[in-house]
Structure 1
Amino acid sequence: MNAHLKNRLATLLFWLGAAVVVAVLVSLLGYIMYYGLRVIDWKFLTGEPATIRAGGGIGPNIFNSFYLLFLALLMVGPLGILAGIYLSEYAKETQLTRSIRLSIETLASLPSIVVGLFGLLFFVTTLGLGYSLLAGALALTILNLPLVVRITEEAFNNVPHDLREASLSLGASKWQTIYKVVLPSALPGLLTGIILASGRIMGEAAALLFTAGLTTPRLDFHQWDITSPTCPWNPLRPGETLSVHIWKVNSESIIPDVRRVADGSSAVLVIIVLLFNFLARWLARRASIRLTGH
């Protein structure tokens, strides 16, 4: 077999592998959308979840998902970015930094169900938070912290070192160089990482089964007392997210329209995650054009 034929054969195998991946993705998305989009309407998106009656909606579940995302990003964003900046800009190769990187790799490899069980034992029981959105947000922080740290460190490492030297040579301090020069240059990568982590948070279910709970009290959006169990903004109330809701209706099967609710909920969740991915690409491109001019 000559070199030209080997090259064509290898190229064909690469194209075949890519085509299989795309075909699997398209078939999966097509199946979900075909059955799910027929269910989605305004009543379904805003209605209360069903118990034993038909016609249930997913309004509170969508709200819980976005509120939990907000709580999780409040914690994982600052912690992950600060840790990534330390590893990229300040840390030297010592036993401490090796221990930090080993801890990050270990956290990244933990199954979400293990993090959920840890959250049940520590956040829910030991700290006394109970099944609550706050406990779920803390569990999601543990899950997504390694991702944000890695993305931050990589984004800062990709900034040319000449920019740092130029800033320091003009009399700027190290902190001023990081804040005024390096951070804006790394911003596209940071935005992409944060939004991709948001999509991962939206789709997480296993860790939330043991922390955020499987129920949602009837929410009163006119209630502004944050200590009230019916206040939507109370972080100490239980909250069933959209991904947990999909698992619950399929596992319990206590409503007559299980298939309808599951199909519609799955389609909405997939659409939200896809929007997060498209938003990440758009923001990264816009930020890159704004900062670099091309």
Structure 2
Amino acid sequence: MNPKTSDKVATGVIWTFVAIVVLILLFLLGYILGTGLPDVSLHFLSSQAEAFKAGGGIRDQLFNSLYLLILTLIISFPIALGSGIYLSEFLKDNWFTQVLRTTIEILSSLPSIVVGLFGYLFFVIKFKMGFSILAGALALTFFNLPLLTRNIEDSLRDVPQLQREAGASLGLSEWKTIKGIVLPAALPGILTGVILSAGRVFGEAAALIYTAGQSAPAVDYGNWNPFSATSFLNWNRPAETLAVHIWKVNTEAVVPDASIISSASSAVLIVVILLFNFGARALGRFLYKKLTAAN
């Protein structure tokens, strides 16, 4: 087989696999959205779920998922950013670096149930946090840190060395070069890591069952004091997320219309993830153009 024919065959095989993956994704999205969206209504999104009663909504679960995501990113992103910068820009390749990277990879491969049990024993019991949003966010940080750290490190390493040399030739310090040149150039890759970690937070259930809890007590959405027990911003309250709610409804059948709520909740979860992804990418493109003066 001549090189041109081999190239065409290889290209065709690659495009075939790509098409299969896209078709599987479209089938899953179409099935979930087609099954669940007809049952989604304003009442469903704005009302509270009630055990043993039909017609409940997912207002609290949807807010808890978004709130937990924000808290998790606030905790994990600065740590991951500092670690990624240190690994990429300051740490030399040696045995310590290899051990550190191996540790990060091992942490990223831990099963979610193991992390959930660790969070339960360490945060809920040892530190007496109880089932709370904060305990859930700290547990999910163990998921986010490896993924975010490696993604940020790889994004920084992908920035051409020429840009660092250009900063040095202008008399900029190493930190100013990283802050003003390297980080803006690596922003699209860093944003991809944030989106991937956010999707994992939205879809996580096992770890949150043992840390954030399976109940969604009524809260006052007019109370903006995060230290008040009834405030919706109180991070010390138990909080059932949307993914945990879907699992609970399917396994325990606490409501008569469990299948309808499960399908509609799954559709809402998919839509929220898609909106977050598109919104984050649009914001990333805007910031990238703003910081790099790119057209």
By the TM > 0.5 criterion, same fold?
yes
Could you report, residue by residue, the CA deviation over 1:119-141 in whole angstroms, capped at 9, with x for unpaired residues?
11111111111111001000110
Equivalent position SS for 2:64: helix
Task: Give the equivalent residue in structure 1 for 2:14.
Answer: 14
1:1-294 mapped onto 2 (5 Å cutoff): 9-290=9-290, 291=292, 293-294=294-295
1: CA distance, partners of 2:173 / 2:113: 44
Deviation at 1:10, TM superposition (A): 4.3
CA distance in 2, matches of 1:163, 1:12: 37
| CA shift in 2, pair 1:12/1:171, >3 Å | closer
1:3 and 1:153 map into 2 onto residues whose CA distance is 37
Larger mean Cα displacement after TM superposition, 25-34 or 137-146:
25-34
Larger mean CA deviation between 91-100 and 279-288 belongs to: 279-288
Structure 1, 81-90 or 227-236: larger mean CA deviation: 227-236
Which has the larger displacement, 5-14 or 147-156?
5-14
Q: How many residues align?
A: 294
Query: How far did 1:9 drift?
Result: 4.9
> Bigger shift: 139-148 or 282-291?
282-291
Structure 2 CA distance for partners of 1:86 and 1:260, relative to 1, 3 Å: same
- Kept in 2, the 8 Å contact 1:72–1:137? The answer is yes
Structure 1: any 5+ residue segments left out of the alignment?
none
Deviates more, 1:143-152 or 1:284-293: 284-293
- How far apart are 1:15 and its partner, in Å? 3.5
**Deviation string, structure 1 residues 4-46 (Cα, Å, up to 9, x no partner):** 7665554443343233222222221111111211111111001
Q: Distance in 1 between matches of 2:210 and 2:91?
A: 36
Q: Quick one: distance in 2 between partners of 1:277 and 1:224?
A: 28
Letter paired with 2:237: R
Shift of 1:222: 2.5
Report the AA paired with residue 38 of structure 2. Answer: R
Q: Could you list the per-position Cα deviations for residues 228-286 of structure 1 after superposition, in whole angstroms to 9, with x for gaps in the alignment?
A: 33211111110000111000000110211101110110000011112223234434444
Task: Note closer, same or farther for the CA distance 1:97–1:9 as it changes in structure 2 (3 Å cut).
Answer: closer
Secondary structure at the residue paired with 2:230? coil
Identity of aligned residues (%): 49
Alpha-carbon distance between aligned partners in 1 of 2:100 and 2:7, rounded to the nearest angstrom: 44
Higher alpha-carbon deviation: 227-236 or 46-55:
227-236
**Aligned Cα RMSD in Å?**
1.9
The offset of 1:110, in angstroms, is 1.0
Cα offset for 1:190?
1.8
User: Structure 1 stretch 177-186 or stretch 276-285: which is displaced more?
Assistant: 276-285
**How far apart in 1 are the matches of 2:76 and 2:21?**
31
Deviation sequence 1:48-105 (CA, Å, 0-9, x none):
0121111010000011011101110111110000000000110012333222111111
Does the 8 Å CA contact 2:188/2:288 hold for their aligned counterparts? yes
User: TM-score by structure 2 length?
Assistant: 0.93
Consecutive unaligned residues in structure 2, runs of 5 or more: none
CA contact (8 A) 1:61 1:245 kept: yes
What is the DSSP-based 3-state SS (H/G/I as helix, E as strand, rest coil) of the residue aligned with 2:215?
coil
Amino acid at match of 2:270: V
Contact 2:164 2:181 in 1 (8 A): yes
- Is the Cα contact below 8 Å between 2:167 and 2:177 reproduced in 1? yes
Q: Which shows bigger deviation, 148-157 or 6-15?
A: 6-15
* Inter-partner Cα distance in structure 2 for 1:288 and 1:78: 19
| Bigger mean CA offset, 28-37 vs 157-166 | 157-166
Following superposition, the deviation at residue 154 of structure 1 comes to 1.3
2:114 aligned counterpart, secondary structure = helix
**Residue 180 of structure 1, CA deviation:** 1.9
